[in-house]
A and B are shown apart, each in its own frame.
Chain A
Amino acid sequence: MKRAQFSWYRPWHPWIFLIPTLIGLFVFRLGPMIASFFISFTEWDILTDPEWIGLTNYIDLFEDPDFLQILGNTFEFSLVYVVGVMFFGLLLAVLVNSKLKGITFFRSAYFVPVVTSSVAVGLVWNWLLSPNYGLINAVLEAVFKVTPPSWLGDRNIVLIVVAMVQVWKMAGYYMILFLAGLQEIPNMYYEAAKIDGASKFQSFKKITLPLLTPTTFFVFTIAIINSFKSFEIIYTMTQGGPSNATNTLVYSIYLNGFLFYKTGYASAMAYVLLVIVAIITYINFILKKRWVKYQY
């Protein structure tokens, strides 16, 4: 009887539901990715026909001192961002992982910067960080009697400052991920540890951190990928300056592709970025076996 009810079913039927998504994926994601690969071997100003130039774009990239600086900036930004969001994301998650009255307010408050427009965040932080007219330096000078630096003008520190603003903006997102991980840890472990006389710090070190490693691994991977994709905050705050100090790979791809119309060169850069992200993610997956502990 049951068989009769599903007699209309054919194995190809799921494809009917998959096709709309697959078409979108192929046309808007995989198609441009493949096209971009071929474009990276051309010189193309999107005004005249592309000209095949082989590996010239890739050779030019690695011979360009500015590109090497941009590559360095990208890694520096990534390092500050990944360490920052993991530390502050976990810290916030631990703080809001309690059953205190009104804790939902704090969870929401910490998440607000995530959903705030990068343009607004960039503008407000620009005002706050302005060396002579910003609130932060005014407070530092009045209270601590120090001469603070030009946070956004000093090329030795500006990249760290912009990365920290992005950490401030995104920490709430990672907080949510860590919070979900924390709530997955059964309470019985903490109860057992308490009976055995473990301090809160010992419980955190011996129970929370090890059992949180699957989430930590996920957060780590996502944070690395996101760090390489950070664009809006640089566009809004520094536009790659001063003196190229905040110009990162993804920002440079935008400039070359959509301002200078060096589409082939920009595509080559995009593929260098793809390879870097792929290698780091691959290493991350290999190392996972050594430090990630699954409960189940």
Chain B
Amino acid sequence: MKQLMLVTSLFLVLCSMMAAQTVLEYWMWDPDLKDRTLSVIEKFEAENPGITVNLTVMEASDYWTKIRLMAMTKKLPDVFNLSSGYIEEWASKGFLLPLDKYVEKSLDQDSFYMNLFEAEKELANAESYYAVPFALVTTVLFFNKDMFDDAGLTYPNSDWRWDDFLEAAKQLTLDKDADGKIDQWGFWLYGRYAHIESWVFRNDGYLIDRSVMRFAPDKNGLNTLEFLTDLVTEYKVAPQPKEMAGVRQQDVFPRQLAAMWVDGSWNIDNNRIIAGDSFNWGIAEVPMGPAGMVDSAYGWPDFVAISNTTKEPEAAWKFAKFAAGEGLTMDMYMPGKIPSFKALAESEEFYSSDAQPDEMALLLDIAAKEMKSSFTMSWSEWRGYGAAEGAGLNSILDSIMNGDMTFEDGLKKMDTSINKILGKIYK
């Protein structure tokens, strides 16, 4: 009898424990961060005894295909990482939990860069908050300080405009051995998004008319495209993209083949690896165009999102907020990525490093600005992203810069081919 009572009471205790335990599934795409993410989860579970979080990590190349299939079969994890490129598609198709009531009532808004939440609304093309940003990337002008010193030029700063940039680029383009071939280019660019849109937004322009969701650059956008392609075809301060074939695009600057380069802030890491201390380099804001806006920049966050089918929205919100902010540590951020959680971004660890560049604090100034981007649904197709870099807008801009197409013919092709893709999505 005693034994029966013992077993029954044990059974009841177990049942009550199981009933009280909330289990969340969390998916993320960076296997390098698995151990550190497990530490985040451990910390969260210690602070929230009733909640257990199961982590699934996979390579980014597999992540999107698998998580899409999970969404289709209604088995989405409760919480998962989401990138800016997909947020509109996922929000519009109803896979994400709207977070307005949580953001408004249970988020300490002073602790996050709230402009990134606003950027999220614009990215999602929606009125609601659908995800919590955890890392921002933006674009900057990388410049070789040694080359500037040799040319007797002052370093770029936030007041730099196109004329200043062009003048410096001309002086930095050198045929050092007088053999008729340029040995040092003033600038490096090709059709890549970060190389192009950075300038468009700093000239208060756009490529996508969001009122109709079509590729229809405004006057400032067109001027920017023309200015950039002219850098190669007319001013000849940057090489044709085909001249750099075979060199990884992100290695052109750290290998000192060009004195300036505009690309994502995450390239700080690659510069440190490739260049080391072989030369001095810095970062500055992307030069402003004639119509430029001081208070905006090109940038986009990565997010932690919550599934609309989660059975534990409160617990999922608690964890999403934690995994996007206070739970994280600076060593989980690649150099050049900016935490959305202010305490991290403004910590000593973020910008007082022995490694170059000295101007890391600039990233925080940019992070506080209004963020703009060109993401739409099917962005990777019309823009030419990743494995599709040889296609889309990339390909047309490269053709212009390689001299295979005139600027006017390129514009016509952009209009027909990009709007054909967008027309199928935004009917």
Contact = CB atoms under 8 A, between A and B. Distances in A.
B395 A239 contact: no
B93 A150 contact: no
For this complex, into which size category does the number of interface residues on chain A fall?
35 or more
B381 A240 contact: no
Contact of B65 (A49, A133, A258): A258
Nearest to B398: A242
B93 A153 contact: no
B239 to A, nearest CB: 8
- Give the interface centre of B71, B90, B246, B388 by most chain A CB atoms within 10 Å: B246
A48 B90 CA distance: 10
A240 B391 contact: yes
Nearest to A150: B242
Contact of B380 (A47, A238, A245, A260): A260
B258 to A, nearest CB: 12
A255 B388 contact: yes
Nearest to A238: B390
Contacts of A76: none
Nearest to A245: B390
Interface string B21-36: 0000000000000000
Contact of A259 (B68, B89, B247, B387): B387
A46 B386 CA distance: 20
Interface in A121-152: 126-134, 150-152
A255 B240 CA distance: 26
B246 A244 contact: no
B403 to A, nearest CB: 11
Contacts of A247: 390-391
A182 B378 CA distance: 53
A132 B243 contact: yes
B245 A243 contact: no
B373 interface: no
- Give the interface centre of A46, A127, A154 by most chain B CB atoms within 10 Å: A46
Nearest to B382: A260
Nearest to A234: B390
Contact of B391 (A46, A130, A155, A255): A255
Contacts, number: 114
Contacts of B181: 132
A244 B72 CA distance: 32
B118 interface: no
B294 interface: no
Interface in A209-252: 235, 238-247
A261 interface: yes
Contact of A242 (B90, B242, B386): B242
B20 interface: no
Nearest to A127: B246
B388 A259 contact: yes
Given A46-B65, A155-B404, A242 B391 contact: no
A294 B96 CA distance: 66
Contacts of B385: 259
A153 B388 CA distance: 16
A49 B72 contact: yes
B68 A261 contact: yes
Contacts of B71: 47
A126 B381 CA distance: 25
A49 B69 CA distance: 10
A152 B388 contact: no
B389 interface: yes
B144 interface: no
A49 B68 CA distance: 11
B203 interface: no
Nearest to B240: A153
A243 B243 contact: no
Contacts of A131: 242-243, 245-246
B249 to A, nearest CB: 11
Interface string B383-412: 001111111001110110010100000000
A259 B380 contact: yes
B388 A239 contact: yes
Contact of B395 (A235, A243, A259, A261): A243
B241 interface: yes
- Give the interface centre of A134, A150, A246 by most chain B CB atoms within 10 Å: A150
A151 B245 CA distance: 8
Contact of A239 (B95, B247, B390): B390
Contacts of B380: 259-260
B73 to A, nearest CB: 10
A47 B72 contact: yes
Given A240-B390, A243-B404, A246-B390, 10 more contacts: A46-B69, A47-B90, A126-B245, A133-B247, A150-B242, A150-B245, A243-B402, A244-B391, A255-B388, A259-B387
19 contacts: A46-B68, A48-B72, A129-B245, A130-B246, A132-B181, A151-B246, A152-B246, A153-B245, A239-B390, A241-B389, A242-B390, A242-B395, A242-B399, A243-B390, A243-B395, A244-B390, A244-B391, A254-B387, A255-B388
Q: Give 4 nearest A-B pairs by CB, closest first.
A: A241-B390, A153-B242, A130-B246, A240-B390
